Amino acid sequence: MQLKSAALDQIAQFICGDSPLPFPYRSSSKLTTFFTGLGLDYIHRGETRNAWTRDAVIDINSKASPVGAFPSPEMSSVIEEVMNPVYFEANESENVNFDGALGRMNRVLKQYKLEVAVNPSSGEAKLRSVDGHFVSTAHASPETVKKLTFAPKVFEVPHSTEMQHDLVAIMMPFGAAFSRIHDAIKTACSQATLRCKRADDIWANSTIIQDIWRVIRQD
């Protein structure tokens, strides 16, 4: 979702903070610090402050948003930074007033069903929908998915494998030379009330490696 031109005009004015707005005033250097502090590469080099800031905000607003009901993460961070309480607490101007600024910002955001709310425990100003869903939740990083990939594709990972906690998977070569070792392992498992299986005890798939993988997954 992208904000409309009128909203961008207002937000640019809030960033500049010219009197009599209740927002902190930002000089050329402070405008640069405002954007670069958010990791945004906008550097004011003497252009008209309001026009330059509006152009920067328009560019930020155009960035893609992963969630349709919210602005881009960059635009969201700009809105939240405008309402950062630290700027208001450190400012001694009589015009600067956090509650008044918050009211002005939320009137702009109302048409988008958005608002800035202050977290009472952290004191942070956060953008959220009017129904209480924070933008940070909507922009959360995708859940990490663990995926096993094999190349070449000799066999496939079983989608549903029941765990068998008394099962011991034996990984060893076949053949008469290893029979005594195999028998010893089976005897030890039996005495410990455990079951043991080697791939040749199963042989359910045409590719033996699939049987080996299955018994490992069950173990």
Checking if the pLDDT of 137 tops 50, the result is: no
Please report, as a single letter, which amino acid is at residue 103.
Answer: G
**Tens of pLDDT along 74-128?**
999 999 999 999 999 888 788 899 999 999 999 999 999 999 998 887 888 999 8
What pLDDT was estimated at residue 4? 94
Q: Note if the pTM is more than 0.75.
A: no
Q: pLDDT higher for 27 or 214?
A: 27
50, 61, 68, 159 from 140: Cα distances, Å? 32, 19, 14, 28
Please give the backbone phi and psi of residue 114, each rounded to the nearest 5 degrees, phi first: -125, 160
Comparing 207 with 12, the larger pLDDT belongs to 12
